[in-house]
Amino acid sequence: LKGRELLNEGIKTASMVQYVARCGNFKSAGLKYTGDPDKPVKTVAACTGAGSEFVACAGLCDVYVTGDLKYHDAQFAKESGFAVIDAGHWGTEWIFVPNMAEKLRKKLGTKSGIKVIESRVNQDPFSFMV
């Protein structure tokens, strides 16, 4: 199942965390999250990169997926009754380059003569130890 289908099937927070983990390219042993693992998820918001500054707006959804979530923002979310998934800054941004490159190629077309070049350097600057 994907995206909207998951929400229609009655996915819960814990399963949403697992889904996000499977979709990503994460080197760590898992993702950080807060919230009731058994709470049903009907709405999801996402912000790539560091999304702490938008956590108050994310209270309008059941789950907020972002990276670099600050401790007090996670605490605010938990106390406010919604879940947050901190998938890491790089973990939420790595997919941007190939997606944007493809959109640009389609928009520009082959007749424009413009070549879209994707960076070959695509790595998380952090190493992980368990």
Which tens digits make up the pLDDT trace of 65-105? 998 899 999 999 999 999 999 988 888 888 788 889 999 99
Q: What pLDDT shows up at residue 70?
A: 92
Tokens of 32: 């950080």
Q: Single out the residue of 79, 84, 57 nearest to residue 69, CA to CA.
A: 84
Task: Tell me which of 110 and 17 has the higher pLDDT.
Answer: 17
Q: How far is CA 19 from CA 1, 16, 79, 127, in A?
A: 10, 5, 24, 23
Determine what percent of the chain is predicted with pLDDT higher than 90: 42
Which is it for strands 63-67 and 44-50: parallel, antiparallel or unpaired? Answer: parallel
Tokens of 91: 């973990």
Tokens of 51: 């999304």
Residue 30 pLDDT greater than 90, yes or no: no
Residue 116 pLDDT greater than 90, yes or no: yes
